[in-house]
Amino acid sequence: WKVVPRNHLVPPYSLFTRPLEKSQVDDRHYSVIRLENGLTAMLVHDPCTENAAASLNVAVGHLSDPDDMPGLAHFCEHLLFMARTLTRGTKQFPKENEYSEYLSKNDGGSNAYTSSSNTNYHFRVSPSVLPGALERFSGFFHSPLFAPSCTTRELNAVDSEHKKNHQADPWRIFQLNKTLSKAGHPWIKFGTGNRATLTAAGREAKARGKLSANTLVNGNGAVKSANISKEPSPITSRTPSPTPSSSSANSESDADGGSIGRETRRRLIEWWSKEYCASRMELCVIGREPLEELTAMVSKLFSPIPNCSQGPSPIIDEHPFGPNEMGTLVSVQTIKSFHAVEISFPLAWQPPLWKYKPGYFLSHFLGHEGHGSLFAYLKGKGWITSLSAATQALGRGFAMFKTTMYLTKNGFDNYRSVVLATFKYLALLRASEFPRWFQSEIATIAKTQFQFSEKRAAEGYAVTIAERMSWPVPTEKLLTAPVLLSEWESDEGERQVREALENLQVDSGRVVLMAKKEEHERIFGGEKHWESEKWYGTGYTVERWDDQFLDEARSPNDIPDLHLPGRNEFIPTNLDVEKHDVLEPLQRPHLIRQSDISKVWYKKDDQFWLPRAAVIIDIRSPVASNKPRATVLTKLCVDLVNDSLTEYAYDAELAGLAYHVTAHSLGMTLSLKGYNDKLPELAKYVVRALKNLVPTQDRLNVMKEKLKRDWDNFFMNQSYLLSDYYGRHMLGHQTWTVQEQLEELPGVQLEEVAAHNRQLLGKINIQTLVLGNMYRDQAIALSESVEDILDPSPLVEGEVPSERALILPEAGSNYMWITPVPNPNEANSALTYYIHLGQLNDPRHRVVGTLLARIMSEPAFNVLRTKEQLGYIVSCSRWLLLGDSQFGIRIVVQSERGTGYLEERIEAFLDTMDTKLEEMKDHEFDDFKKGMRQRWREPAKNLGEEASKYWHHIDSGFLDFLRRFENADLIEKVEKREVVALFRERVHPKALKRAKLSIHVQSQKPRPPRISAKAVEAFEVLVREAGIPVDLAAIKDEFDQESPVAADFLKRWSDVLTEDTVSINVAKGLLERLPALMEQYPVRDENVYSRSADVTRVDDMGAFKASLDVSPPPRPLVDWGDLPAAKL
């Protein structure tokens, strides 16, 4: 390390002088510095990056929450991002939402997450405005205001986020595993938190009389903390909603949560001042600026972050599994219908073992899917459909090794045998010798993957680097140590593996068995005594294994079908790349072959120079989904093919060559991506499997069971996913609902599947795209081989199927469709609100509409989520309909509020958007144009992204490969008046040409009775009239909504109206009048839309779809004239 002294305005820092180890194809330049406050930063100079990005990782997560405030770290993440910052200098950013608006208009965005031992904040933005973005970003960490006015809103946001996850099995089971930790271990904590946990300490303090009305000044006052700005806010700290509703809390006292909210904020600031220490922060910044500029920028902007004199990042050496947790079977009730078993073992924290990665070595064998593997054995028994094995970093200092298997119904019935087979495989590993070529092969695959790794998006790459910078590895290995393995040069590598393997025993593990309650009780033979997890209410039981099971699990392997894998024949041997000078990369693929059956589009790699290729082979058939049963049969054919290839293709996937066969509404698609060395052979093998599919009854039964489970579970998804799904279905031509397909599934017979596969492939059209390190003749030869193997008949013109949309009529149509949420315990409703804009193939209309959607996105989020607190899920975006020829704007909200109310709030927002567009300054409008122009001109970062761009135009049939460049040129000429005109013509609620469809998915979970705001006011009048000396405002502050839950309201007033304040008879009389007040002033039914007379209610979905016009079939928009000889 070299100390670099202060240089004018740039504070001193230390520079790491050795070069960082990196991939041979990585053209970025790296530098690592450490600021005087202890913050470590990696600067990445990438002159070609499409976005600049930054990620700051704080080595503090929810395991550091105070015991009496679960969720505080998560709340800090929320409130920190909402806080406006006041930088130490002359430039101020006092405006609320300044950061988000700045990023949005510069083609950027941001996010953050809270984990167990770290919290990460990150953003992306146009490269030219990185300095401004970093200046705003850095202020969050040295001078946040933690605006009092945001306290209530972000408490509600955290609460809404928890409620969003309440019916999600992954969250429920994750927290149950935490809850079942040994007493006193921090892993037991409830990391998400909710409003109740975050305000519990404040409520308790208030109940004990320890809070005064002015515990902390709010609004324009200063916060008394050394690390928070002491200056008053230069403007009022809360901007009210531009579309105020009856529920918009606009007063400062409501916004800061009253005395309880102020105490919550005080505790947060106290915690932040201690925990957010610069020496526990790692930063990664990626930009086009030279390293010297990035270094100066970071040193200047991030040096003001205080060092709180904290020691090294806390490490928890103790594992959450104690004697009571080991050797147990936990049965868990699930929300969705599935069967699974998860086996967990304590494992040493892996980062210090970065050289040999023993956990990765073990996961290679436990997770293997080739011949002789645990997966192959259990699949052959018909017991599982998938298996994964991996290390799981729980927290800094402790980890877990987990094997997770999704079971068939038969597998669930035989779960003991499934678990025993896992222990038998572990016994096989312990008894086996590990020749060094095992580790050598794993290391070779990892090295090859790293050396020829494709460039990632800047933001994701920055997050990954920032996360890994705290690893205990030599600084020069920050990029390599987390991903590379060393070969076993001594006994140390194998010793680490053996040591880890010794912990993977039945006596030290926990088995979690997951299924619906009725399934558990079916195999148990009666009712079980269920316990309920504290935070999610998940039903579970814990029991210890019986002696017979333990004896079998401890015994040596006696399953002859289990053996260790052989050498991987798919490891590439030819990694040659013919690189040559290219003036400018080609901007599209060329048509190099056309027959009456297929077309081949091809582009030789001319920019990435990696030994990789991407191939997409799309097979279209008019019988693929011409009716619901055909759709089901096509899906089953594809599932059976994938199922038959698992053992063969697994080695290819390990070696970096992956394939996917997927079914879609027009047929099926085979996509391959990876090292080109053995790609053609794998492609032909998969096509032969498609052609020669011979389904068996046992595997068909497994695939049908899995498909039924997936479709049944579809209806248990979050509400907004369902509203979006129904919206797309109602505007799609010839689409079948999941329910229609479910009805066909049980009757499918074995011979029917085989016959459908023959018919499906008998008469087809094929479109192929070949990109990357393959030659023209190789692409043609592969296409010819595919045709030879399939040997189909051609489709005549007009028979080739295409996706098409249904078009809403323009003459002021206003449709609404309402359906219940299928999950009776889901508290959230959802609204998908779609406004049709028109044809996507009209270039200027496309550009203006896309720009309008981009401009609306951030204000919609800010108003509907941040200000109005409608729910955690709020989004506004452009929506493409089926076939990609039609588009519009879609706003989706998931909320506990009723869908009628949500529609009213969206329309109120749209009403104000007219003024926002009209008043938008020219320079702001130009910023949006500049951001969109840059996005459209961004080159592909990697081969996969390039393939996706090209395939979009081939798949749609329009073939306008240069559309994005045309968009970028057109947007320079777009004027604000065009955007305003389009909004007023088609989007505003009173627009004459508006075509709108809203999907209301309404929760069926009864909400607890509430007291309306008018009833509350009437009750307060009665209290005043009775002359009772109580602080009405203080009591009102205790409720988080203007219409409090009746039971809570009654209880609170019962506690207030004691003999100390009023006689028993007066108190009784007041409380007995509440029911009458509730009846006189009822809470509105928010599912009812108040302007229903203006809406056409859709009652028959089929009739509605039949009434709409169908978009025309696609046709090429450009004749490229590539054949007879493509000009390559």
Q: What is residue 820's three-state secondary structure?
A: strand
Q: Is the peptide bond before 1114 cis (omega within 30 degrees of 0)?
A: no
* Cα–Cα distance, 667 to 408 (Å, whole number): 27
Whole-number Cα distances in Å, 399 to 57, 288, 349, 363, 393:
20, 38, 5, 14, 5
Catalytic residue status for 77? yes
- Quickly count: other Cβ atoms within 10 Å of residue 947's Cβ: 23
Q: How many CA atoms lie within 13 A of 964 on its CB side?
A: 17
- Quickly count: other Cβ atoms within 10 Å of residue 469's Cβ: 22
Tokens standing for 1101?
A: 């979905």
* Cα–Cα distance, 244 to 241 (Å, whole number): 5
* Cα–Cα distance, 197 to 202 (Å, whole number): 10
Look up tokens 């290995």; give the residue: 477
* Cα–Cα distance, 57 to 485 (Å, whole number): 25
Q: Which of 21, 36, 50, 77 is catalytic?
A: 77
Q: Residue 272 contacts by C-beta under 8 Å, 6 or more apart in sequence? A: 76, 80, 144, 146, 227
CA angle at residue 865 from 863 to 870, to 5 degrees?
110
Tokens standing for 122?
A: 């990150």
CA angle at residue 336 from 331 to 339, to 5 degrees?
50
- Quickly count: other Cβ atoms within 10 Å of residue 226's Cβ: 8
Tokens standing for 22?
A: 């990196």
Full 3-state SS string of 141-153: HHCECCCHHHHHH
Whole-number Cα distances in Å, 988 to 320, 865, 907, 913:
56, 20, 8, 8
* Cα–Cα distance, 233 to 848 (Å, whole number): 38
Which residue in 537, 551, 550, 548 sits closest to 511, CA to CA? 550
Let me know: does 604 contact 774? Beta carbons within 8 Å: yes
Let me know: does 66 contact 72? Beta carbons within 8 Å: yes
Residue 208 main-chain phi, psi, to 5 deg: -90, 5
Tokens standing for 110?
A: 């941001």
Give me the residues paired with residue 346 across strands: 400
CA dihedral 194, 196, 198, 204 (to 10 degrees): -170
309: left (phi over 0), alpha (psi -120 to 50) or beta: left
Q: Where are the alpha helices (H) located in 764-869, listed in sequence order?
A: 776-790, 843-861
Max Cα-Cα span within the chain: 100
- Quickly count: other Cβ atoms within 10 Å of residue 217's Cβ: 14
**Residue 608 carries which DSSP code?**
S
Look up tokens 């046992």; give the residue: 698
Helix H or strand E encompassing 877: strand 873-880
Active site residues: 77
